Structures are given as C-alpha cells and as structure tokens.
Structure 1
Amino acid sequence: MIYDFVVCGGGTAGCVVAARLAEDPSVKVLVIEAGQHNENLENAHMVGGWSQLFDKETDWNVISEPRPAVNNRQVKLSRGKFLGGCSGCNGTLCVRGSKKDFDDWNLEGWSGDEFWKYMSKAETFHDKPWFNVSKESHGYDGLLHTEPHDLAPISNLLLESMQSKGLPYDCDMFSHGNNPHGCGHSTRTVHQGIRTTGADFVTDKNRRDNIHLMLQTHVDKVIVEQDANGELRAAGIRAVGPDGAVVEVKAAKEVVLAAGAYCSPNILNRSGIGAGKELEKHGITTIVDLPGVGKNLMDHLRLGTNSNFARRCQIVFMFYETDKPGITNDHLVYHGDSFGKTYALWKDEKKGFLSTFPFGAFAFARLDERLADSSVWTSAPREPGRDPMGLTPSQPNIEFFTTECYGGPKQFDQFPGDGKHAFSIIAELFSPRSRGTVALHSSDPTAAPLVDCNYLADPLDVEVLAEACRFGNEIVMQGAGTKDIVKGSWPSDLVHHRYTTREEWIPYVRDNATTCYHASGTCAMGETSNPNAVVDNKLRVRGIKGLRVADCSIMPTLNGGHTQMPAYGIGEKAADLIKETWLRT
C-alpha cells in the first residue's frame, strides 16, 4: 500500500492534520489509529459519559511509576484509545493559556499571536445571549464546534466568592489570554448537547474519499531508508493489525507521528530514533541518537524549571458538602432514580446533565503576594522579570476550576445520596519545576508506555501548590457567595475546610494531587543548537527527512491552561507546514 501521507494516530491533532491535507483531492492520506472507530461509542458523544470510556479497551490504561514525593502512589493516566482520542473523553475545556506562554518558546512561527490564529482556525464558536464574548479570540469557520456552558447555581455563587476574594470578573478571559488574575467562564467543545471531537474532522459530513482509516492497528516503527543522496528518509511504517498480522505501508511524501506524548516518543524509540543507550536495553539498533526523545514529560500535574524544557502542572480536588438543596447538580444524577430520567432526557432531546461536563466557574491567579512570607519562594533563584517558576507577571501561577456536583477521577467514589449535596474547587499548578520521562516497557508495539511522571519532586512545586489550595479553600469558606452554605468537607471524614496554614496543606497535596491529563513535551521542539530538541520549528524530526511529529509532545514548555486547544492548533499548524513543502499550487 502506498499513500502520500501516513498519519500515525487518529486523536485530536492527527485527525486535524489528515483533514487539512486531504483538502487537496489529488493526495491520498492514511490515518492509523490503535483504537476503534468512535461512531458507536455513545459515551464519546454523550459529554457526561466520559468516565465510562476509562479502564477498558477504549483507554490506553497507562499507570505512572510510584514516586516518593507523592507517597509512592501510582496515578492512573487515562488516554482515549479510539478515533478522536482524548478529545472524546476530556473535560471539553477551551482554556488556551496566555500568549506569553507561546512567546516563551522563542521559535519562529510559534509566537502567541501566530499560534492563537491556528487555535481559532479549528473552531466555530456559537455564542449565547448572556455571554460577553471576546469576538476576536474565536474562530467561526472551523470544524470544531464550541459554546459557553450554562452554569448551575453553585457556580454563580463561586464566581461571587472569587470576586470577593480579589479575582475580578472577566467573562471570556480564558479565550483572550490577556488576564493572569481574574475569574470567568471556559467555553466548551460541546454543541447542541453533543461533544465535538477531532474525529469530526474526518467523519460524517467531513469525510473525504481520499482519507483512509486503518483502525485497531498499532504502529510499530517508522521504516527508515537511505535516499539517492545517502540521507535518511522515512519511507513508510510497519504496524500490527487487530489479528496480529504485520502490515507495511509506504509514504510517498511524509510520515506524521500524532500518537500523543506517551506513544509518539515510543514509536520513535522502536524505530531506532532516541537515546542510544536506552535503545540498546531493548535490542534496538540506534539509527539517530536523539537523547531528548521521551524526556521533558509535562502533564498538568505540571512540573518544570526555568529552562526551555521544563513546565508541568498538578491539580488537587477539594470537595465540600452543602445542606442547601438545589444549588448543585447531584440531585440530577445521584438521588433516587434521577440517573434514569437524566439519561432518557439526553437520549430523547440531547439536553440535561449528561449534555454537559460538570465543571463550573474558572479563575487564574498570581500568588506573588501570598508567597511573600515563604522562604522556599523568596530564596529560590529567578531570572530578571520572572518568578521562581519562570513566569512573568502576565502569566498566572495557578488556575482554579470548580465542579457543579461531586465527581472526578475514579478514586472519588463516595457519591452523595439522597439529601446530600457536594461540590469542589480544584487548584492547578502552572510551571512547576520537576519533570518526567516516557520510555519503552519492551519493543512490543502493543505494550503500554513506561511513564515516570516525577510528580512534586521539587519542594517549590509543593510549596506553591499548597498555597494555591489554601487560597482556594479561603474562596469557598470566606467568599461572599459560599461562606454561609458550606456544611464541611466531603466526605465528612476530611477536615480540609478547617485548614488555615500552608503547612497544613502540604500533606494533603502529597496525598491527593492527581493528573489533569495534559501530557506533553516528550518530543520537544527547539533550535538545532539545543541537544535535547527532537523536532525543529517546522516539526521535522532531526536527522530524518520526511518525518514530522504533530501533537502536544512537541511543546517545549506547557501552556498555562489546558492542552485541548493547543492540540487542535498544532494540527492546523502542522498541516500548513506540510502543505508549504509538498502542496504548493
């Protein structure tokens, strides 16, 4: 089989790349996806069904290595294993970050202003009458449909509390990216009660005859050959089909890896492109020695240094109980026979609780003043104009977001029954200082990656995240909208609602920090002078012609936000870079 372009990975970015390349009807594009088609996965279309895609064949089922900084816990790193990938099971959030996040990459063509346009290119935004939109920050012609989320009463109360604690209201601040300290709304990848995903770019009304999907097929390696000039070139791929049969596909023009931050580096590794000493352990011959492959892992459990290869982040849930009925959405899903009615409403009308993701209000915050009494913070080294995390005053230290009912990762399973009501505020740390790695368990292409997240290894990360939790608790317990409605922590055996010092929060952080599913950075982009760079600013893999990486693994530092919109932007940008090379008209 011969195609012009072979895209390895049918997730968020890979589907965008394929769709845009196939706009030229003269080319043939193959998308290889390890999982199944999403068309019959109800929980990938029903927004509220997201968690039912985990811990089964629709999940890569990656689990982090235990680390002492998180009390030797292992964290479940669920990733979507089906067409559309994580865009089919994420929180639907469009939190772009700050333009300075991308300016800091200091790479030609990737400034904040330039990259903002690519994120917007993917989008068709649908407004609502109550939403004060930043019109110039959105796109209106893309294949990804987005809209604002109508808040439950608890979220409006939390917005009131945030404002009373010094976070001014700025409705669409998570789209325009110019405000590091305020509260507002995150738009969502939902429209008319249905989740919109990367798969929408290559299916249904957007399906094209020159795109071929090869599903339930694991990419083993890139086939590398020497061209007539003696240079190494990606000639195609070798993969393993659902029946175990080996498949080889030729790429007349390019191979594009879009398998995500866990799988793209390991495809490179199995291809002999990686750190030579590590490849030797698995009997793999080194073709190009690239020590940066699989390094610099970032993941909101985000950790990083001031260098160009270093940002990550961590989140902590803080749940509270209220005895005021009707302000959370628990009664729509946990009380009596409510779930059956809720499900029927979505099936019949695409409305109700299951047509949305239960996140509510959002905020960014700077913590400079709150950390002024911290010796860990004040004694830490910093570059001129930046704080110890490497951030300027125009970039937030943390994000707060809230839930409109009880729920989150699988460990949060003590659901409030009849007469019980709960909600949470979540603290997410930007630009911490520790970072992790992705490596091979073995040379088996179907094996899950070996992921060492190295969470909270640096004391400064713990210090700042603990302060974020303290601030979040103050918002709930002292804020004007919520101070009189909180009964206590949920579940009731926790007492975090009583914590007042940073020191009290540190053990809670180590015991409860979890991932935000924003893995990135493991095939980082950089200048040719950077020995740890895996791809250049055109996304070309060093030392191999005709091979690019196009997913969040190319991010040298992680944006202070969420990775969904950057993933779409990377796909759009990658397609234009490829077109510049091959499809000039």
Structure 2
Amino acid sequence: MLSQTLFFRLLRDIFDEIGIQFASYNDDIETAGQKVQTTYRGLRETSASAYLRPVFPERKDRLHILTRALATKVLINDNGTAYGVQYMRDGQDFTAIARKEVILSAGVFGTPHLLMLSGIGPKSELDLFNITTISDLAGVGSNLQDHLVVTSAIATNITRPKNTNMETEFIMNGQGNIAYDNMVVWARKNSGAESGTSMDQRANPYPEIFLFAFETELSNNTLGLAMVTILAHPRSTGKIRLQSTDPTVQPKIDPNYYSNEDDYRLHIAGIKESEKMVNTMALKNVGGRVVPDPTCIGKIYGSDEYYRCLINHKARFGWHACCTAKIGAGTDEFAVVNPQLQVYGVRNLRVADASVMPHITTANTQAPCYMIGEKASDEIKNTWRQ
C-alpha cells in the first residue's frame, strides 16, 4: 500500500487547490478527511465484539443466542398483541414465547418479509397470498432506498514502493498501513445540477453527493486513485414484496434504481465534479489523468451520453439499504413504527434495524444502526420501568 504520508499529502494538496479543508469531515459537510471506521489494533470491531461478547459470560442466564435458526412468523393473539415467534432450526419448527414484547432486528429485507408473513403489511399484497391482515400498513416493504455508487479511475506515474515489512508490522503489532483504511471522504452540498424535486427547496438541503477516494493499483505496478462518487439521496425508491408464504423463499426485491430522471442528472454532475480533480496541479505533477471506462468506448468522454453509459453498466448499490418499515407519525400512511419504534396496529411488537429509517443518511448506515439499537434499548427500558 502507498505510504500513508505520501497518499495523504497528495490528497491534501488536491483538496487545498479546490478549496476544501482537509480535517474531520464529521464537523463540516464541506470538509474532506480520513474515513472513520470501527477498528481496534488494526482489526474490525463489530456490534457483536463491542456489545455482546463483553457481557455474554456474566449474562448466560438471561441472554440466550440461538444460531442456525430462521424466524418464520410473529405470533399475534386475537386482541392484536404479539406474544412470541415461530422459528425453524435444523428442519424442525419451534416456538419462543415472549414475556413482555417481541423485537424484530431482521434487517431491511428480513423485517418487512417477516412482518408480511405475520399479517402486517399492505392488505392488497397480503390478500394475494390469502394471509389474514392484522394491521394494514402500506409502508411495509415500501420506501426501499440505497446509495448508488460509480467508480472512476485516475492514473498517475507513481509506482508502488517496495516494503517488505508491512505484513510483519501488522501481524506483530496491529499497526502500519495495513491496519488503517487510507480512504478519504468528501461530501458536497450540491452536485451543481438542477433537479425538480422538493428536496432541493429545504432550508438545509442534504448533500447530494459524497465521495470516497483511495489508492488503487492500475497496471505494471503503477498506482492511481479510485474516485467513488456516491449519490447520497436517490429520488428513486424500491419495494419488497412476497413471492410465497413459504418463509424459506426469499422476498421479491425491486430496487427501482434510476427510475427518476433526476438521479441520472445529479449523479452525472457529481461524477464530473469528482473528475475535475485531475485538473489540479497536485495531480498533474504526478501525471494524473482520467482513465475512460472501456465499457463505454464509442461514447465521447466527458459527454452526458458517456456518463449515462457508465452509470448503466457500472453503477452499483452501496450495501446501505434501508427504510422499508419507516418511523413516522400516525398520520403518515407509509409509517410502520411510531417514535418509540413500536409497530402500528400491534401491541408489544417493536422494530430495531435499518428498516425504520425514514430516509437514507448522507453516510454509511453502520453508525445509525448502532444508534437505532441504543434508542430501542432506552425505549424498551422506559416502557417496562413504568
């Protein structure tokens, strides 16, 4: 990996030229900085290693973790109260009974799937599968959102330095370049493109684009920059629907990407903005040049036609799907849970995962998911403390 000092000096110089401060991007959305990550001594920290493993030995009598199990249905009695969960394990069906309440954390796809199988969701959808509707909630499985990602390559004349100690330094001490993510994040308040959506009229509009920039090896030991341009708030939304009443059959996922023309317009403007970095002296001094994608040979590089081709062939989702059981007021026809994360129309049933987000964040969704878990924990304690 390219020396962290050299890599950051190059990027600092680039951002200085375009007038963007290189500091902590958590303090100002127009600031570029090193990507924040959950690591300890060079290793990835997860919710399991941070929340579960430290307390599990002393709470074995209260915390029971069952692996290789698939939840298949929330059990709800005649008065609309959730009282347990059915699940499958090793080909057998089991039932777990809740003394107080059921909390779903099955994720952006699993939670709406399980809710619909349990009779909670759009009645018109449930009727197609002869599922009795317990709570008619149009928002279950709707409002699916994700970040949309396109990567451009900027080549340089920099060659990979010889360093035979990187692996040893990491293995022995958890330190060195391998232990750190040399990725830089830059958020833009706007992409420079016009769009016809009300989101642009907000008093404090969301950034439309954010960028990841990191070192990449292109060919012949030559290094370059990967410029990952991310559409932060796509106007297009998708949905999740049932394919079967069999809980082992995955739901049908329709992401509906780029169905709103504004998404093309905004993303194209954002990619163009990120590729302008090649015009800085910092990159020119190291032979910086954009590498047109061979998929779109025949299109004029720099034209909207070229970038539309690039998006159609190379755009991918950001692994940040969310919002399919969103939080909202009872007057919102697409709200699924209330501010306490309780499911509308069913008692003693709560959701705590990315599906409750009303709209996607202008950042990765890992930290917001931790926050949702903390929020759910507080609400559960407040409910049963009374």
Deviation, 1:183, is 1.6
Give the residue type in structure 2 aligned to 1:549: V
SS of the residue aligned with 2:370?
Answer: helix
Residue number in structure 1 paired with 2:215:
404
Instruction: From the superposition, tell whether residues 405 and 261 of structure 1 become closer, same or farther in structure 2 (CA, over 3 Å).
Output: same
Residue among 85, 88, 96 paired with 1:249: 96
Among 59, 70, 87, which residue is 1:218 paired with? 70
Q: Does 1:435 align with 2:237?
A: yes
Equivalent position of 2:137 in the other structure: 290
Q: Which residue of 2 aligns with 1:238?
A: 86
Residue in structure 1 matched with residue 311 of structure 2 by the alignment: 509
CA distance in 1, matches of 2:225, 2:179: 19
**Alignment CA distance shift 1:167-1:391 (3 Å):** farther
- Is 1:350–2:152 an aligned residue pair? no
Q: Map of 1:151-170 to 2, 5 A cutoff?
A: 151=4, 153-169=6-22
1:365 to 182, 188, 212: 188
> 1:481 is paired with a residue of what secondary structure?
helix
After superposition, what is the alpha-carbon deviation per residue over 1:507-550, rounded to whole angstroms, capped at 9, x for unaligned? 21222111111111000111111111111111110111000011
Matched-pair contact (CA < 8 Å) for 1:163–1:183? no
Given the superposition, is the C-alpha separation of residues 294 and 425 from structure 1 closer, same or farther in structure 2, using an over 3 Å criterion? Answer: same
Q: For 1:533 and 1:437, how far apart are their aligned partners in 2?
A: 14
1:167–1:365 CA contact under 8 A, matched in 2: no
CA distance in 2, matches of 1:524, 1:396: 21
How many angstroms apart in 2 are the aligned matches of 1:239 and 1:455? Answer: 33
**Corresponding letter in the other structure for 1:199:** A
AA of the residue aligned to 2:128 = K
- C-alpha distance in 2, partners of 1:399/1:563? 14
Alignment check: 8 A CA contact 1:397 1:429 kept:
yes
* Worse-superposed segment, 451-460 or 481-490: 481-490
Q: Could you tell me which residue of structure 2 aligns to residue 483 of structure 1?
A: 284
Shift in Å, 1:160: 2.0
Q: Where does 1:60-459 land on structure 2 (aligned, <5 Å)?
A: 151=4, 153-169=6-22, 171-174=23-26, 176=27, 179-207=28-56, 208-209=59-60, 210-226=62-78, 231-241=79-89, 243-300=90-147, 314-326=148-160, 346-357=170-181, 359-367=182-190, 370-371=192-193, 377=194, 380=196, 382=198, 387=200, 391-393=202-204, 395-406=206-217, 416=218, 418-459=220-261
Cα distance between partner residues in 2 of 1:553 and 1:321: 39
Q: How many equivalent pairs are there?
A: 380
Output the amino acid matched with 1:362.
V
2:353 paired residue among 551, 555, 558: 551
SS of aligned partner of 1:218: strand
Q: Deviations over 1:348-399 (max 9, x none)?
A: 4434454344x5111111236x33xxxxx26x254xxx51xx5544532210
Kindly state the Cα deviation for residue 495 of structure 1 after the two structures are TM-superposed. Answer: 8.0
Contact 2:160-2:222 at 8 Å conserved across structures: no
TM-aligned CA deviation for residue 186 of structure 1: 2.5
Q: Is the 8 A contact 1:427 1:468 kept in 2?
A: yes
CA contact (8 A) 1:152 1:360 kept: no
Query: Does the CA contact (< 8 Å) of 2:24 and 2:32 recur in 1?
Result: no
Instruction: Give the letter aligned to residue 7 of structure 2.
Output: I
Q: Distance in 2 between matches of 1:263 and 1:509?
A: 28
Alignment gaps of 5+ in structure 1 = 1-47, 49-149, 301-313, 333-337, 372-376, 407-415
d(CA) in 1 for partners of 2:190, 2:329 = 32
TM-score scaled to structure 1, two decimals? 0.60
Note the aligned Cα RMSD (angstroms).
2.7
Stretches of structure 2 lacking an aligned partner (at least 5 in a row): none
Residue pair 1:235, 1:252 contacting (<8 A) in 2 also: yes
- The Cα shift of 1:282 comes to 2.9
Local SS of the residue matching 1:238: strand
Contact 1:193 1:355 (8 Å CA) reproduced: yes
What SS does the corresponding residue of 1:533 show, helix, strand or coil? Answer: coil
Instruction: Tell me if structure 2 keeps the 8 A contact 1:520–1:555.
Output: yes
Q: Which has the greater radius of gyration?
A: 2
Residue 326 and residue 404 in structure 1: after superposition, are their counterparts in 2 closer, same or farther (change >3 A)?
Answer: same
Q: 1:441 to 1:422 in 2, by over 3 A?
A: farther
Q: Which moved more, 1:500-509 or 1:485-494?
A: 485-494
Asked if 2 retains the 8 angstrom alpha-carbon contact of 1:366 and 1:393, the reply is: no
Structure number having the greater strand percentage: 2
Counterpart secondary structure, 1:212? coil
Shift of 1:258: 0.8
Q: Distance in 2 between matches of 1:549 and 1:152?
A: 44
Measure the CA separation in 1 of the matches of 2:225 and 2:84.
Answer: 50
Q: Is the contact between residue 550 and residue 570 of structure 1 (CA under 8 Å) also seen in structure 2?
A: yes
Q: Which amino acid aligns with 1:282?
A: F
**What SS class does the counterpart of residue 214 from structure 1 fall into?**
coil
Within 1, Cα distance between the matches of 2:317 and 2:293? 24
What letter is aligned with 1:213? I
Q: Is the 8 A contact 2:150 2:228 kept in 1?
A: yes
SS of residue paired to 2:247: coil
CA distance in 1, matches of 2:117, 2:168: 47
Write the distance in 2 (CA, Å) between the matches of 1:343 and 1:439. Answer: 46
Alpha-carbon spacing, 1:521–1:392, altered in 2? closer, same or farther (3 Å)? same
SS in 2 for 1:221: strand
* Aligned-residue offset at 1:201: 3.9
Q: Secondary structure at the match of 2:99?
A: strand
Q: CA deviation at 1:487?
A: 5.5
